[in-house]
Structure 1
Amino acid sequence: MPSSTVTSEQPTNSADFPWQFARSRRFSLGVPRHFTVSPDGRRVLFVRTLSGTDPVGRLWQYEDGTERLLADPALLVGAGPNAVPEEERLLRERARERTVGVVSYATDEAARLVAFALSGALWAVRTDGGTPFSVPAAGPVIDPRPSPDGRYIAYVSRRCFHVVDLAGADRQLARAEGPEISYGLAEYVAAESMHRLRGYWWAPDSRRVLVARVDTGRVERRYVSDPADPTKPPQAIRYPAAGTPNAEVTLQLLSLEGERVEVEWDRKAYEYVVAAGWDAHGPFITVQSRDQRVVRTLAVDPETGATEVLHERTDPAWVEIIDGTPARTASGALVLHEDEGDTRYLTVGGRRVTPEGMQLCAVLGVEGERVLFTASEDPLETHVWCHEPGRGNRRLSREPGRYTGVARGGTVVLAGETLRGDEAGVLRGDETAGDPPYQVLTSLAEEPSVTPRPVHLTLGERELRGALYLPSWHEEGTGKLPVLLDPYGGPGIQLVGRARGWFTYMSQWFAEQGFAVLVVDGRGTPNRGPAWEKTIHGDQLTPALEDQVDALRAAAARCADLDLTRVAIRGWSFGGFLAAAAVLHRPEVFHAAVAGAPPTDQRMYDTHWKERFLGDPEEQPENYVRSSLAGHGHLLSRPLLLVHGLADDNVAAAHTLRFSAELLAAGKPHSVLPLPGATHLPADDAVNAQLLHFQRDFLLKALEERADQG
Structure 2
Amino acid sequence: MSESFPRLSARTRRFTLGVPRGFTISPDGGRVMFLRTGSGTDPVTCLWELDTETHVERLVVDPRALDADGDELPPEERARRERSREQAGGVVAYSTDAAVTTAVFALSGGLYVTDLASGRTRRLDVPGAVIDPRLSPDGRHVAYVSEGALRVQDLASGEDRALAAPESPTVTYGLAEFIASEELDRMRGHWWSPAGDALLVERVDEAPVQVWHIADPANPDRPAVAQRYPAAGTPNALTELFVLGLDGSRVAVPYDDEYLTTAAWDSHALSIVTMPRDQKTLRLFAVDPATGAATPVREETDPAWVDVVPGVPAHLDDGSLVWVAGAEGGSRLFVGDRAVTPPTLQVRAVLDVDHDSVLFSASGDPTEIQLWTWDGHSLLPVSTRSGVFSGRMAGGVGVLTEQSLDAEGVSTTVVRRDGMAIPIPSRAERPGLDLRVSLGRSGRRELATAVVLPTWYEPGSGRLPVLMDPYGGPHAQRVLNRRGGYLESQWFAEQGFAVVVADGRGTPGRGPAFERAVLNDLATPALEDQIDALQGVAEQYPDDLDLTRVAIRGWSFGGFLAALAVLRRPDVFHAAVAGAPVTDWRLYDTAYTERYLGHPTEQPDVYDKSSLFGDAAKLERPLLLIHGLADDNVVAAHTLRLSSALLAAGRQHSVLPLSGVTHMTPQEVVAENLLLLQVDFLKRSLG
Q: Give the TM-score normalised by the residue count of structure 2.
A: 0.98
Say whether the 8 Å CA contact 1:137–1:168 is kept in structure 2: no
Show CA shifts across 1:661-708 (max 9, x none). Answer: 00000000000000000000012100100000000000000000xxxx
Name the residue aligned to 1:212. 202
2:483 aligned counterpart, secondary structure: coil
Q: Work out whether 1:526 is the aligned partner of 2:512.
A: no
| Shift of residue 417, structure 1, vs aligned partner | 2.4
Match of 1:261 among 241, 245, 251: 251
Name the residue aligned to 2:494. 512
* Aligned counterparts, 1:95-244, within 5 A: 95-166=84-155, 167-244=157-234
Name the residue aligned to 1:329. 316
Q: Work out whether 1:422 is the aligned partner of 2:404.
A: no
Say whether the 8 Å CA contact 2:70–2:108 is kept in structure 1: no
Distance 1:677 1:214 in 2: 28
2:613 aligned counterpart, secondary structure: coil
Say whether the 8 Å CA contact 1:451–1:505 is kept in structure 2: no
Show CA shifts across 1:319-373 (max 9, x none). Answer: 0110111222222222112213431111110110001210000011212221111
| Shift of residue 278, structure 1, vs aligned partner | 0.6
Say whether the 8 Å CA contact 1:152–1:164 is kept in structure 2: yes
Say whether the 8 Å CA contact 2:91–2:107 is kept in structure 1: yes
Stretches (4+) displaced over 2 A: 416-419
Match of 2:589 among 594, 606, 609: 606
Distance 2:158 2:126 in 1: 7
Name the residue aligned to 1:642. 625
Distance 1:14 1:587 in 2: 40
Distance 1:342 1:570 in 2: 33
Q: Work out whether 1:395 is the aligned partner of 2:381.
A: yes
* Aligned counterparts, 1:274-289, within 5 A: 274-289=261-276
Distance 1:283 1:372 in 2: 21
Write the letter of the residue equivalent to 2:232: A
Name the residue aligned to 1:546. 528
Show CA shifts across 1:202-254 (max 9, x none). Answer: 00000000000001000011111211111111111111111111101000000
Name the residue aligned to 1:296. 283
Q: Structure 1 residues 32-41 or 628-637, which shifts more? A: 628-637
Q: Give the TM-score normalised by the residue count of structure 1.
A: 0.95
Q: Work out whether 1:87 is the aligned partner of 2:70.
A: no
Q: Work out whether 1:38 is the aligned partner of 2:26.
A: yes
Name the residue aligned to 1:405. 391
* Higher RCO (Cα < 8 Å, 6 or more apart): 1
Say whether the 8 Å CA contact 1:14–1:509 is kept in structure 2: no
2:244 aligned counterpart, secondary structure: strand
Name the residue aligned to 1:707. none
Match of 2:50 among 56, 62, 79: 62
Write the letter of the residue equivalent to 1:406: R
Write the letter of the residue equivalent to 1:28: T
1:378 aligned counterpart, secondary structure: coil
Task: Pick closer, same or farther for the CA change 1:463–1:341 going to 2, 3 Å.
Answer: farther
1:354 aligned counterpart, secondary structure: coil
Say whether the 8 Å CA contact 2:109–2:130 is kept in structure 1: yes
Write the letter of the residue equivalent to 2:490: Q
| Shift of residue 81, structure 1, vs aligned partner | 4.2
Write the letter of the residue equivalent to 2:144: Y
| Shift of residue 194, structure 1, vs aligned partner | 0.2
Distance 1:295 1:493 in 2: 21
Write the letter of the residue equivalent to 2:497: F
| Shift of residue 38, structure 1, vs aligned partner | 0.5
| Shift of residue 581, structure 1, vs aligned partner | 0.3
Distance 1:229 1:424 in 2: 44
Say whether the 8 Å CA contact 1:16–1:449 is kept in structure 2: no
Say whether the 8 Å CA contact 2:383–2:389 is kept in structure 1: yes
Name the residue aligned to 1:474. 457
| Shift of residue 272, structure 1, vs aligned partner | 0.4
Show CA shifts across 1:18-66 (max 9, x none). Answer: 0011000000000000111000011111110001100000000011311
Q: Work out whether 1:537 is the aligned partner of 2:492.
A: no
Write the letter of the residue equivalent to 2:396: G
Write the letter of the residue equivalent to 2:287: V
Q: Work out whether 1:248 is the aligned partner of 2:234.
A: no
Say whether the 8 Å CA contact 2:451–2:499 is kept in structure 1: yes
Write the letter of the residue equivalent to 1:264: P
| Shift of residue 618, structure 1, vs aligned partner | 0.8
| Shift of residue 484, structure 1, vs aligned partner | 0.3
| Shift of residue 596, structure 1, vs aligned partner | 0.2
* Aligned counterparts, 1:552-571, within 5 A: 552-559=534-541, 560-571=543-554
Say whether the 8 Å CA contact 2:70–2:107 is kept in structure 1: no
Name the residue aligned to 2:62. 72
1:381 aligned counterpart, secondary structure: coil
Q: Structure 1 residues 553-562 or 507-516, which shifts more? A: 553-562
Task: Pick closer, same or farther for the CA change 1:430–1:237 going to 2, 3 Å.
Answer: farther
Distance 2:222 2:379 in 1: 57
Task: Pick closer, same or farther for the CA change 1:257–1:15 going to 2, 3 Å.
Answer: closer
Write the letter of the residue equivalent to 2:115: R
Say whether the 8 Å CA contact 2:444–2:536 is kept in structure 1: no
Show CA shifts across 1:241-282 (max 9, x none). Answer: 1111110100000000111000022x2xx1100000111123
Q: Which runs of 5+ in 2 are unaligned?
A: none
Say whether the 8 Å CA contact 1:489–1:574 is kept in structure 2: yes
Name the residue aligned to 1:365. 352
| Shift of residue 416, structure 1, vs aligned partner | 4.2
Distance 2:77 2:325 in 1: 35
Show CA shifts across 1:498-552 (max 9, x none). Answer: 2111x31100000000000000011100111000100001111111111110110
1:613 aligned counterpart, secondary structure: helix
Name the residue aligned to 1:307. 294
Q: Which runs of 5+ in 1 are unaligned?
A: 1-12, 432-436, 705-710
Say whether the 8 Å CA contact 1:161–1:184 is kept in structure 2: yes
**Cα RMSD, aligned residues only:** 1.2
Q: Work out whether 1:631 is the aligned partner of 2:621.
A: no
Q: How many matched pairs?
A: 681
Name the residue aligned to 1:378. 365
Write the letter of the residue equivalent to 1:550: D
Say whether the 8 Å CA contact 1:400–1:499 is kept in structure 2: no
Distance 1:422 1:542 in 2: 36
2:241 aligned counterpart, secondary structure: strand
Q: Structure 1 residues 223-232 or 589-598, which shifts more? A: 223-232
Distance 1:561 1:673 in 2: 32
| Shift of residue 128, structure 1, vs aligned partner | 1.1
* Aligned counterparts, 1:569-588, within 5 A: 569-588=552-571
| Shift of residue 442, structure 1, vs aligned partner | 1.0
Write the letter of the residue equivalent to 1:193: E
Show CA shifts across 1:632-667 (max 9, x none). Answer: 211111000000000000000000000000000000
Distance 2:423 2:540 in 1: 39
Q: Structure 1 residues 657-666 or 486-495, which shifts more? A: 486-495
| Shift of residue 430, structure 1, vs aligned partner | 6.7
Name the residue aligned to 1:6. none
Name the residue aligned to 2:16. 28
Q: Structure 1 residues 392-401 or 528-537, which shifts more? A: 392-401
Identity of aligned residues (%): 52
* Aligned counterparts, 1:445-524, within 5 A: 445-501=428-484, 503-524=485-506
Write the letter of the residue equivalent to 1:386: T
